[in-house]
Amino acid sequence: MLFAVSIKDPLTKLSIYRSLFDCFRDSKISSIEFLDIIINSIKNEKDENNLSTLLRFAKSASSIYMPIKYIKSYKKKLFEELKNLLETQLSSIDFKKDLIKPILMYLPSYSDEDNVQYLIQLMNLDPKLVSQEDRFRFLKTIFICRNINLEDKQKMLEAEVKRDKNSDNSITAKLACNALLPDRKNKEILWNKLTKETTSDSLVNMQTIMGAFAPVEQYDLVDDFIKEKYFEVIPELGKNNESFYIKDFIGECGPTHYPTDEIIKKYEDLIEKVKDMSQVKKYVAEECDLLKRIKKAHELCEEYMKSVDKK
Protein backbone atom coordinates (compact mmCIF):
# COMPACT_ATOMS: atom_id res chain seq x y z
CA MET A 1 0.00 0.00 0.00
CA LEU A 2 3.04 2.26 0.09
CA PHE A 3 2.38 3.08 -3.57
CA ALA A 4 -0.73 4.99 -2.52
CA VAL A 5 1.39 7.34 -0.39
CA SER A 6 3.20 8.59 -3.50
CA ILE A 7 -0.04 9.22 -5.38
CA LYS A 8 -0.96 12.89 -5.19
CA ASP A 9 -4.41 12.94 -6.75
CA PRO A 10 -7.03 12.62 -3.94
CA LEU A 11 -9.65 11.02 -6.21
CA THR A 12 -7.22 8.32 -7.34
CA LYS A 13 -6.32 7.54 -3.75
CA LEU A 14 -10.00 7.46 -2.78
CA SER A 15 -10.66 4.96 -5.55
CA ILE A 16 -7.87 2.74 -4.17
CA TYR A 17 -9.26 2.96 -0.63
CA ARG A 18 -12.73 1.99 -1.83
CA SER A 19 -11.39 -0.94 -3.83
CA LEU A 20 -9.59 -2.21 -0.73
CA PHE A 21 -12.76 -1.80 1.32
CA ASP A 22 -14.60 -3.89 -1.27
CA CYS A 23 -11.94 -6.60 -0.81
CA PHE A 24 -12.51 -6.50 2.95
CA ARG A 25 -16.30 -6.49 2.59
CA ASP A 26 -16.16 -9.46 0.20
CA SER A 27 -13.86 -11.41 2.57
CA LYS A 28 -10.92 -11.33 0.17
CA ILE A 29 -8.73 -9.80 2.87
CA SER A 30 -9.16 -9.88 6.65
CA SER A 31 -10.24 -6.91 8.73
CA ILE A 32 -6.81 -6.92 10.42
CA GLU A 33 -4.91 -6.79 7.13
CA PHE A 34 -7.25 -4.04 5.97
CA LEU A 35 -6.64 -2.09 9.19
CA ASP A 36 -2.87 -2.46 8.82
CA ILE A 37 -3.22 -0.77 5.44
CA ILE A 38 -5.51 1.94 6.81
CA ILE A 39 -3.21 2.75 9.73
CA ASN A 40 -0.28 3.25 7.36
CA SER A 41 -2.45 5.43 5.13
CA ILE A 42 -3.92 7.64 7.87
CA LYS A 43 -0.58 9.15 8.88
CA ASN A 44 0.03 10.37 5.33
CA GLU A 45 -3.48 11.43 4.34
CA LYS A 46 -3.95 15.19 3.98
CA ASP A 47 -7.30 15.27 2.22
CA GLU A 48 -10.30 15.71 4.56
CA ASN A 49 -12.70 13.64 2.46
CA ASN A 50 -10.21 10.80 2.10
CA LEU A 51 -9.39 10.85 5.81
CA SER A 52 -13.11 10.70 6.67
CA THR A 53 -13.49 7.73 4.34
CA LEU A 54 -10.51 5.92 5.86
CA LEU A 55 -11.80 6.45 9.39
CA ARG A 56 -15.29 5.29 8.47
CA PHE A 57 -13.79 2.15 6.95
CA ALA A 58 -11.59 1.65 10.02
CA LYS A 59 -14.57 1.81 12.35
CA SER A 60 -16.30 -0.93 10.36
CA ALA A 61 -13.20 -3.14 10.24
CA SER A 62 -12.41 -2.77 13.95
CA SER A 63 -15.89 -3.76 15.11
CA ILE A 64 -17.64 -7.12 14.80
CA TYR A 65 -15.45 -8.39 11.96
CA MET A 66 -12.40 -8.75 14.20
CA PRO A 67 -11.99 -11.28 17.04
CA ILE A 68 -12.32 -9.63 20.44
CA LYS A 69 -8.77 -10.57 21.46
CA TYR A 70 -7.37 -8.23 18.77
CA ILE A 71 -9.77 -5.31 19.13
CA LYS A 72 -8.07 -3.54 22.03
CA SER A 73 -4.60 -3.49 20.45
CA TYR A 74 -5.88 -2.28 17.08
CA LYS A 75 -8.04 0.40 18.63
CA LYS A 76 -4.97 1.58 20.52
CA LYS A 77 -2.97 1.78 17.27
CA LEU A 78 -5.74 3.80 15.63
CA PHE A 79 -6.02 6.08 18.65
CA GLU A 80 -2.30 6.84 18.61
CA GLU A 81 -2.30 7.62 14.89
CA LEU A 82 -5.28 9.95 15.23
CA LYS A 83 -3.82 11.61 18.32
CA ASN A 84 -0.52 12.24 16.52
CA LEU A 85 -2.34 13.61 13.49
CA LEU A 86 -4.48 15.86 15.68
CA GLU A 87 -1.50 17.15 17.66
CA THR A 88 0.34 17.92 14.43
CA GLN A 89 -2.61 19.92 13.17
CA LEU A 90 -3.20 21.80 16.42
CA SER A 91 0.46 22.78 16.66
CA SER A 92 0.50 24.08 13.11
CA ILE A 93 -0.07 27.79 12.49
CA ASP A 94 -2.13 27.06 9.40
CA PHE A 95 -3.95 23.95 10.66
CA LYS A 96 -6.82 22.59 8.62
CA LYS A 97 -10.09 22.71 10.54
CA ASP A 98 -11.67 20.39 7.97
CA LEU A 99 -9.00 17.79 8.73
CA ILE A 100 -9.54 18.07 12.49
CA LYS A 101 -13.30 17.47 12.20
CA PRO A 102 -13.16 13.77 11.19
CA ILE A 103 -10.39 13.10 13.72
CA LEU A 104 -12.56 14.37 16.58
CA MET A 105 -15.55 12.46 15.23
CA TYR A 106 -13.84 9.07 15.25
CA LEU A 107 -11.27 9.43 18.05
CA PRO A 108 -13.72 8.32 20.80
CA SER A 109 -14.34 5.06 18.92
CA TYR A 110 -10.75 4.04 19.63
CA SER A 111 -10.38 5.37 23.14
CA ASP A 112 -10.30 3.26 26.30
CA GLU A 113 -9.34 3.49 29.96
CA ASP A 114 -5.66 3.89 29.08
CA ASN A 115 -6.16 7.11 27.13
CA VAL A 116 -9.58 8.45 28.13
CA GLN A 117 -7.96 11.37 29.97
CA TYR A 118 -6.93 12.72 26.58
CA LEU A 119 -10.59 12.95 25.57
CA ILE A 120 -11.31 14.91 28.73
CA GLN A 121 -8.53 17.33 27.82
CA LEU A 122 -9.97 17.79 24.34
CA MET A 123 -13.27 18.92 25.83
CA ASN A 124 -11.42 22.10 26.84
CA LEU A 125 -10.52 22.95 23.25
CA ASP A 126 -12.04 25.92 21.45
CA PRO A 127 -15.80 25.24 21.01
CA LYS A 128 -15.34 26.23 17.37
CA LEU A 129 -13.25 23.07 16.96
CA VAL A 130 -15.11 20.67 19.26
CA SER A 131 -18.81 20.58 18.48
CA GLN A 132 -21.50 19.67 20.99
CA GLU A 133 -21.99 16.43 19.07
CA ASP A 134 -18.28 15.67 19.56
CA ARG A 135 -18.56 16.38 23.25
CA PHE A 136 -21.45 13.95 23.69
CA ARG A 137 -19.46 11.30 21.80
CA PHE A 138 -16.54 11.88 24.18
CA LEU A 139 -18.87 11.55 27.15
CA LYS A 140 -20.23 8.20 26.03
CA THR A 141 -16.70 6.80 25.91
CA ILE A 142 -15.96 8.32 29.31
CA PHE A 143 -19.05 6.67 30.81
CA ILE A 144 -17.96 3.25 29.52
CA CYS A 145 -14.65 3.49 31.39
CA ARG A 146 -14.24 2.09 34.88
CA ASN A 147 -11.34 4.24 36.02
CA ILE A 148 -13.39 7.45 36.34
CA ASN A 149 -15.72 7.70 39.30
CA LEU A 150 -19.45 8.16 38.92
CA GLU A 151 -19.53 11.58 40.55
CA ASP A 152 -17.04 13.01 38.04
CA LYS A 153 -18.93 11.44 35.15
CA GLN A 154 -22.23 12.94 36.30
CA LYS A 155 -20.66 16.39 36.73
CA MET A 156 -19.34 16.29 33.17
CA LEU A 157 -22.71 15.13 31.86
CA GLU A 158 -24.61 17.84 33.74
CA ALA A 159 -22.22 20.48 32.39
CA GLU A 160 -22.77 19.34 28.81
CA VAL A 161 -26.54 19.14 29.19
CA LYS A 162 -26.51 22.70 30.53
CA ARG A 163 -24.25 23.82 27.68
CA ASP A 164 -26.67 22.24 25.20
CA LYS A 165 -29.67 23.83 26.96
CA ASN A 166 -31.29 20.44 27.60
CA SER A 167 -32.12 19.84 23.94
CA ASP A 168 -33.38 16.56 22.48
CA ASN A 169 -29.75 15.65 21.84
CA SER A 170 -29.06 16.10 25.55
CA ILE A 171 -31.89 13.77 26.48
CA THR A 172 -30.54 11.10 24.11
CA ALA A 173 -27.00 11.58 25.45
CA LYS A 174 -28.18 11.23 29.06
CA LEU A 175 -30.01 8.00 28.26
CA ALA A 176 -27.00 6.56 26.46
CA CYS A 177 -24.50 7.62 29.13
CA ASN A 178 -26.56 6.15 31.96
CA ALA A 179 -26.99 2.89 30.00
CA LEU A 180 -23.21 2.76 29.47
CA LEU A 181 -22.36 2.88 33.18
CA PRO A 182 -20.16 -0.15 33.95
CA ASP A 183 -22.31 -1.59 36.71
CA ARG A 184 -23.94 -5.03 36.78
CA LYS A 185 -26.98 -3.83 38.73
CA ASN A 186 -27.51 -1.10 36.17
CA LYS A 187 -27.42 -3.68 33.37
CA GLU A 188 -29.99 -5.82 35.20
CA ILE A 189 -32.35 -2.85 35.50
CA LEU A 190 -31.91 -2.02 31.81
CA TRP A 191 -32.51 -5.62 30.77
CA ASN A 192 -35.72 -5.70 32.78
CA LYS A 193 -36.83 -2.47 31.12
CA LEU A 194 -35.99 -3.73 27.62
CA THR A 195 -37.68 -7.11 28.05
CA LYS A 196 -40.53 -6.53 30.52
CA GLU A 197 -41.31 -2.80 30.32
CA THR A 198 -41.10 -2.39 26.57
CA THR A 199 -43.71 0.37 26.40
CA SER A 200 -42.37 2.33 29.38
CA ASP A 201 -40.61 4.82 27.11
CA SER A 202 -40.70 6.01 23.50
CA LEU A 203 -39.37 3.73 20.78
CA VAL A 204 -36.53 6.17 20.08
CA ASN A 205 -35.45 6.18 23.73
CA MET A 206 -35.64 2.40 23.96
CA GLN A 207 -33.53 2.13 20.81
CA THR A 208 -30.93 4.40 22.44
CA ILE A 209 -30.81 2.13 25.50
CA MET A 210 -30.47 -0.97 23.32
CA GLY A 211 -27.54 0.59 21.47
CA ALA A 212 -25.74 1.34 24.73
CA PHE A 213 -26.58 -1.84 26.63
CA ALA A 214 -23.68 -4.07 25.60
CA PRO A 215 -20.51 -2.35 24.34
CA VAL A 216 -17.73 -4.87 23.81
CA GLU A 217 -15.76 -3.35 26.71
CA GLN A 218 -18.55 -4.42 29.07
CA TYR A 219 -19.25 -7.95 27.85
CA ASP A 220 -18.14 -9.31 31.22
CA LEU A 221 -21.13 -7.50 32.76
CA VAL A 222 -23.72 -8.77 30.28
CA ASP A 223 -22.35 -12.14 29.16
CA ASP A 224 -25.33 -14.16 30.40
CA PHE A 225 -27.82 -11.68 28.98
CA ILE A 226 -26.46 -11.69 25.43
CA LYS A 227 -25.54 -15.38 25.22
CA GLU A 228 -28.45 -17.01 27.05
CA LYS A 229 -31.38 -14.82 28.14
CA TYR A 230 -31.41 -13.09 24.74
CA PHE A 231 -32.50 -16.33 23.07
CA GLU A 232 -35.05 -17.04 25.81
CA VAL A 233 -36.93 -13.72 25.61
CA ILE A 234 -37.17 -13.15 21.85
CA PRO A 235 -40.21 -15.42 21.22
CA GLU A 236 -42.26 -13.58 23.83
CA LEU A 237 -40.99 -10.16 22.75
CA GLY A 238 -41.96 -11.03 19.19
CA LYS A 239 -45.56 -11.71 20.21
CA ASN A 240 -46.06 -8.48 22.15
CA ASN A 241 -44.05 -5.76 20.39
CA GLU A 242 -44.02 -3.99 17.06
CA SER A 243 -41.52 -5.10 14.43
CA PHE A 244 -39.31 -2.01 14.78
CA TYR A 245 -38.74 -2.82 18.43
CA ILE A 246 -37.93 -6.49 17.98
CA LYS A 247 -35.68 -5.80 14.99
CA ASP A 248 -33.51 -3.42 17.01
CA PHE A 249 -33.47 -5.71 20.03
CA ILE A 250 -32.28 -8.63 17.93
CA GLY A 251 -29.60 -6.52 16.28
CA GLU A 252 -28.33 -4.64 19.33
CA CYS A 253 -28.61 -6.97 22.34
CA GLY A 254 -27.22 -10.26 21.08
CA PRO A 255 -23.83 -12.05 21.00
CA THR A 256 -22.61 -10.48 17.76
CA HIS A 257 -18.95 -10.75 18.74
CA TYR A 258 -19.25 -14.48 19.44
CA PRO A 259 -19.75 -16.26 16.10
CA THR A 260 -19.16 -19.74 17.52
CA ASP A 261 -20.85 -22.89 16.28
CA GLU A 262 -22.74 -23.04 19.59
CA ILE A 263 -24.15 -19.53 19.22
CA ILE A 264 -25.03 -20.06 15.56
CA LYS A 265 -26.88 -23.24 16.56
CA LYS A 266 -28.88 -21.21 19.09
CA TYR A 267 -29.95 -18.85 16.31
CA GLU A 268 -30.94 -21.78 14.11
CA ASP A 269 -33.00 -23.27 16.95
CA LEU A 270 -34.59 -19.87 17.56
CA ILE A 271 -35.61 -19.62 13.91
CA GLU A 272 -37.62 -22.80 14.41
CA LYS A 273 -39.23 -21.46 17.60
CA VAL A 274 -40.45 -18.27 15.92
CA LYS A 275 -41.36 -19.82 12.58
CA ASP A 276 -44.99 -18.70 12.96
CA MET A 277 -43.97 -15.03 13.39
CA SER A 278 -42.82 -14.11 9.89
CA GLN A 279 -41.16 -10.78 10.72
CA VAL A 280 -39.41 -12.08 13.82
CA LYS A 281 -38.24 -15.15 11.93
CA LYS A 282 -36.87 -12.87 9.19
CA TYR A 283 -34.88 -10.75 11.67
CA VAL A 284 -33.49 -13.78 13.51
CA ALA A 285 -32.51 -15.42 10.23
CA GLU A 286 -30.74 -12.24 9.11
CA GLU A 287 -28.83 -12.11 12.38
CA CYS A 288 -27.91 -15.78 12.02
CA ASP A 289 -26.57 -15.13 8.51
CA LEU A 290 -24.60 -12.17 9.87
CA LEU A 291 -23.01 -14.38 12.53
CA LYS A 292 -21.94 -16.83 9.84
CA ARG A 293 -20.28 -14.01 7.88
CA ILE A 294 -18.60 -12.76 11.02
CA LYS A 295 -17.32 -16.28 11.73
CA LYS A 296 -15.72 -16.37 8.30
CA ALA A 297 -14.22 -12.90 8.88
CA HIS A 298 -12.74 -14.01 12.21
CA GLU A 299 -11.24 -17.10 10.57
CA LEU A 300 -9.62 -14.86 7.94
CA CYS A 301 -8.12 -12.75 10.73
CA GLU A 302 -6.61 -15.80 12.38
CA GLU A 303 -5.14 -16.98 9.06
CA TYR A 304 -3.64 -13.56 8.46
CA MET A 305 -2.12 -13.37 11.94
CA LYS A 306 -0.57 -16.83 11.48
CA SER A 307 1.00 -15.70 8.21
CA VAL A 308 2.39 -12.59 9.91
CA ASP A 309 3.86 -14.68 12.75
CA LYS A 310 5.61 -16.95 10.25
CA LYS A 311 7.31 -13.92 8.71
The residue extents of the domains of the chain are: 183-311
* pLDDT digits 0-9 by tens, 227-273: 999 999 999 999 999 999 999 999 999 999 999 999 999 999 999 99
* pLDDT digits 0-9 by tens, 77-109: 999 999 999 998 888 877 777 888 899 999 999
- H helix intervals, the chain: 2-6, 10-25, 31-42, 48-61, 68-90, 97-106, 116-122, 132-144, 150-163, 168-179, 184-196, 203-213, 219-224, 230-240, 243-252, 261-273, 278-310
Q: What is the pLDDT of residue 99?
A: 83
Among 63-67, 123-127, 211-215, the range scoring the smallest mean pLDDT is 123-127
Q: What is the pLDDT of residue 311?
A: 63
Reference 32, options 299, 310, 311; nearest CA is 299
Residue 87's SS3 state is helix
